[in-house]
Structure 1
Amino acid sequence: MVQTDTSKLTQLGGATKLPNSPDDAQLERVPHTHAGERYAVRFTAPEFTSLCPMTGQPDFGHLMIDYVPRDWLVESKSLKLFLGSFRNHGAFHEDCSVYIGKRLTELLDPEWLRIGAYWYPRGGIPIDVFWASGPEPKDLWIPDQGVPPYRGRG
C-alpha cells in the first residue's frame, strides 16, 4: 500500500479554528496515490449552514459533492473547515453552491466534479442548486445523490 504524503498539510492532526470566511479558508489536497484508478468520491454535508445576505437569518442545506479524482484528493478536515466557514457568511444559495464547486475544481483539477445543494425552505420556497464541471462520466458508476426534493407536509 502506498503511503499518502501529508507533509505539506497544515490543519490535520491538531486544533484548528473555523475560518472567518470562505475566502479565508485554506483548502488542502493530498496526492492521489492510486493514479490510473478511476472511481468516484462522495462527501455529504447534511447540516450545511450559511446566512441570508439580506436578513442575516440562517439558511440550511444538504450538500452532496461527488468527484472523480485525477492527481489530487481533497483533505477532508480542510473541506469541513471550508464548509463550516459559510456559517457566518452571507450569500445567496446559488452563490454558495457554485462557489464551493468552483473552488474545489480549481484546487483539485478533477476529471469531473458535481455539487447538489438541496436547500431547506426560506420564505416558503426551497431552492436546489446543481453545478458540474462538465458532463457526467458515462463509463463510471456515479450513484444518484438520493436526496429527494423538499415535500413539506404534502
Structure 2
Amino acid sequence: MNTPELSQLGKASAYIDQYDASLLFALPREPKRTEIGIKGHVPFLGADLWTAFELSWLNPRGKPQVAIAHITVPCESTHIVESKSFKLYLNSFNNSRFESADQVREHIRTDVSAAIWHGGKVQSTAGVRLLLPELFDCEPIREMEGLSIDRLDVECSVYQPAPELLSAALDEKPVTEILTSDLLKSNCLVTGQPDWGSVQITYSGPQIDQGGLLQYIVSFRNHNEFHEQCVERIYMDIMARCKPAKLSVVARYTRRGGLDINPWRSSHPQLPPPNVRNARQ
C-alpha cells in the first residue's frame, strides 16, 4: 500500500519533461477516514476541486501552449493523488507534443481517473476542464459568501483539533446560516510545511456557537494532515457535536507548486461550489 512517506514529498526530485502518467502517486483515503470513524460507505457527498495554474505542452509544430486546468476528483474515490506527484506529472507535459488541447485534457482525465481508483475499476471519472488563454480574463477573484466569524474577539489557546470546542443550541429553534473564516491553517502531513486556507460552513439545524466554532477552526493550526483529510475531519466533528440537519463544508487552500486543492463535503445532493479562487490563491 502506498503511504505518504513513500511519496516524493520533502525529497529532491528530477523533473521529467516528457509525458509520464506513472508519476502520479495515489494515496488511500481509508486510513485517515478510519481515524475519524468512517468505515465503508462515506456519509457525505462531494469532491476535491483542484486548480492547476502551471500547465504547458507543445503543439505538433513544437510551439508551447498554456492553459489553466480545473480538475474535479470525486470524494467516493478510493484514493487521492499526492500533490507533489501531481505537479511532477503535469510538468511531464512540458516538452511533449500533442495534437490539441482536447487530447491533453483527455490524457489528464484518463490518468487521474486511473490513479484515484488505484488500478481498480473506475467507478466515476475525474472531471477535467482546460481554460485557454483567450478565456483567462474570465477567471474571477471572489471571497466566500457568508458571515465571517473572524470578527469575534475570542481567546485561542488550543492548536490541535479539539471537537469539544463545538456546541450548538440543541433545544432552540433551528436556523440556516453560512459562516466563513480565513483563519484555517494546518500543516502538510509529511513535510510539516504550513497550508493556509479559508473555510465556508453552510448548515441548517441547531444554531452553532460561533465563538466555539472559530476556536475549533483555529485549533487546526499545528495539525499535520492533508487538505482533504482536514475538511472531512471538520465535517464529521460538526455533524457529531452540533447535529445539523444539513451541512456543507468547503475549504479553499492557497496554492503550492502551481496547484490549489479545495475540498468540498456535503450531507445532501447539490451542485458543487464554483471553483473560483479567492484573493490569497
2:131 paired residue number: 118
Deviation at 1:27, TM superposition (A): 0.7
Distance 1:8 1:71 in 2: 18
CA distances 1:58-88 after superposition (whole Å, capped 9, x unpaired): 1010100011132111100000010111111
Q: Verify: 1:64 aligned to 2:70, yes or no.
A: yes
Distance 1:99 1:24 in 2: 9
Query: Contact between 1:25 and 1:85, CA under 8 Å: does it hold in 2?
Result: no
Distance 1:78 1:49 in 2: 16
Question: Quick check: 65-74 or 22-31, which moved more?
Answer: 22-31
Deviation at 1:144, TM superposition (A): 2.9
2:59 paired residue number: 52
Query: Contact between 1:20 and 1:85, CA under 8 Å: does it hold in 2?
Result: yes
Amino acid in structure 2 at the alignment position of 1:15: A
CA distances 1:21-73 after superposition (whole Å, capped 9, x unpaired): 222651101111235243311111123111112x2111010100011132111
Q: Percent identity?
A: 23
The two structures have a TM-score, normalised by structure 2, of: 0.41
Query: Which residue, 26, 30, 47 being the options, matches 1:29?
Result: 26
Q: CA RMSD in A?
A: 2.5
SS in 1 for 2:94: helix
Distance 2:274 2:125 in 1: 15
Q: Across the two proteins, how many residue pairs are aligned to each other?
A: 126
Identify, as 1 or 2, the structure richer in helix. Answer: 2
Gaps spanning 5+ residues in structure 1: where? 122-137, 148-154
Higher relative contact order (CA 8 A, sep 6+): 1
Distance 1:71 1:8 in 2: 18
Distance 1:68 1:102 in 2: 14
Change in CA separation of 1:38 and 1:7 when aligned onto 2, cut-off 3 Å: farther
Deviation at 1:113, TM superposition (A): 1.8
Query: Which residue, 9, 16, 20 being the options, matches 2:17?
Result: 20
Gaps spanning 5+ residues in structure 2: where? 118-122, 135-267
